Amino acid sequence: MRRLLVVLLAGLLMPWVMGAQSAAPKLVAPGVWFLEGDAHAGYCNSIVIEMERYLVLVDPSYPGRTKELMAEIPALSKKPVKWVFDTHAHGDHSYGNALWTQAGATTLAAAGVRKEMDLYEPTRWQSAISKREDVRATDARDVERPKVVFRGSKFVLRDKTREVDFLYLGWGHTRGDGYVWLPKEKILCTGDAAVNGPRNKMWDADVANWPRVLDKAAALGPNVVLPGHGDMGGVEIVTGQAQFLRDLYAAVKAQMDLPVSDVKVSLPERDANWVRPDMSQHIGIMYAEIKAGKPAGALPHTWQ
């Protein structure tokens, strides 16, 4: 009896003992859950979509988060995870790939994700090994590339319960940004092309084109937007993200006669959700893009 009690208590306490602070899954629509990852652990948000016979997971995040998801998802649905979609190549979204392949799922992404991984990996993976126990613990030396990539603008999964569209709308936050669109439910998963809060990463971006891509996403008419980081919301996450990028770009462009270190921006109140206390990195990336006349992500750069 005492032993049973210890086992039960250990089970209850384990998530806290392990340090996992990811939020409880939120039901967004029947069979669609938003799983907010623990930002302090560097995790992104994930989404689970239930189909007739299987589940789709959007963004496996880091290996540590994938392990949490593997424990949490069976409580949502007993169906197997068949497809795992990387919204882009960054480690906080894709480094759990290999664990899902081992579990029998098929990883999927827009073709640009594999291209970015081939460009930037395994350098970034090696850097993550030095910083993160969960990546180190995999014993792998490189991120596993998505097993299936789609070219063009759309890859569709459809059964009698629903349709899931995986969309590529252009080079914005990265070359491979994939959006997940549920046309019937009007739910849009944006990955980090649109985040809710000051969480943008611009190293790999085409900053000038990014808001134009977001315009296409907003034009789908989503009622619910599930971002890669931060809380879920409505289309204002997408339109606000686009406006912030436009305002910042215009502010930097107006000061190109100054050295980059002298460029200062004061953005309108509408951009407050995306403004960081220190904007120098964003400014530097935009300045470099405008000066070179080509996407920041196409210029020589390292992960910072």
Using the rule CB under 5 A, give the single segment among 39-47, 108-116, 143-151, 177-185 that binds Zn ion.
39-47
Q: Which residue among 92, 116, 271, 289 contacts Zn ion (CB under 5 A)?
A: 92
User: From residue 276, how far is each of 201, 241, 265, 271 by CA, in Å?
Assistant: 11, 13, 11, 10
Task: For Zn ion, give the closer residue by CB, 44 or 235.
Answer: 44
- By C-beta, is 226 or 263 nearer to Zn ion? 226
If binding is defined by CB under 5 A, does position 204 make contact with Zn ion? no
| Interface characters, 134-153, with Zn ion (x: CB under 5 A) | --------------------
Given the rule CB under 5 A, which of 30-38, 73-81, 91-99, 283-291 is the region that contacts Zn ion?
91-99
Nearest to 177 by CA among 287, 243, 94, 283: 94
- Residue number with CB closer to Zn ion (44 or 251): 44
Query: What span, in angstroms and rounded, lies between the C-alpha atoms of 91 and 143?
Result: 8
**Closest distance to Zn ion from the beta carbon of 261 (Å):** 28
Cβ 90 to Zn ion shortest distance, Å: 5
Segment lying near Zn ion (by CB under 5 A), choices 38-46, 69-77, 169-177, 262-270: 38-46
Establish if 44 lies at the interface with Zn ion (CB under 5 A): yes
Cα–Cα distance list, 219 to 41, 94, 127, 257, 269 (Å): 33, 27, 38, 36, 24
Return the number of the residue (44 or 167) whose C-beta is nearest Zn ion. Answer: 44
Our CB check for Zn ion shows the closer of 50 and 134 to be 134
Q: With respect to Zn ion, which residue has the nearer C-beta, 120 or 287?
A: 120
- Told to check if 116 binds Zn ion by CB under 5 A, we report no
Minimum CB distance to Zn ion, residue 42 (Å)? 8
Instruction: Give min distance, CB of 229 to Zn ion, in A.
Output: 6
> Residue 192 Cβ, how far from Zn ion at the closest point, in Å?
4
* Look-up of token digits 């891509």: 213
Q: Does 36 bind Zn ion (CB under 5 A)?
A: no
Helix H, strand E, coil C: the string for the chain is CHHHHHHHHHHHHHHHHCCCCCCCCEEEECCEEEECCCHHHCCCCEEEEECCCCEEEECCCCHHHHHHHHHHHHHHCCCCEEEEECCCCCHHHHCCHHHHHHCCCEEEEEHHHHHHHHHHCCHHHHHHHHHCHHHHCCCCCCCCCCCEEECCCEEEEECCCCEEEEEECCCCCCCCCEEEEECCCCEEEEECCCCCCCCCCCCCCCCCCHHHHHHHHHHCCCCEEEECCCCCECCHHHHHHHHHHHHHHHHHHCCCCCCHHHCCCCCCHHHHHHCCCCCHHHHHHHHHHHHHCCCHHHCCCCCC
Number of chain residues interacting with Zn ion (CB under 5 A): 4
CB of 259 to Zn ion, least distance (A): 31
Name which of 112 and 228 has its Cβ closer to Zn ion.
228
User: Hey, which residues between 46 and 85 contact Zn ion (CB under 5 A)?
Assistant: none
Q: How far is the CB of 191 from Zn ion (least distance, A)?
A: 7
Query: What is the footprint of Zn ion within residues 212-241 (CB under 5 A)?
Result: 228
Judged by CB under 5 A, does residue 192 bind Zn ion?
A: yes
Catalog residues that contact Zn ion under the rule CB under 5 A. Answer: 44, 92, 192, 228
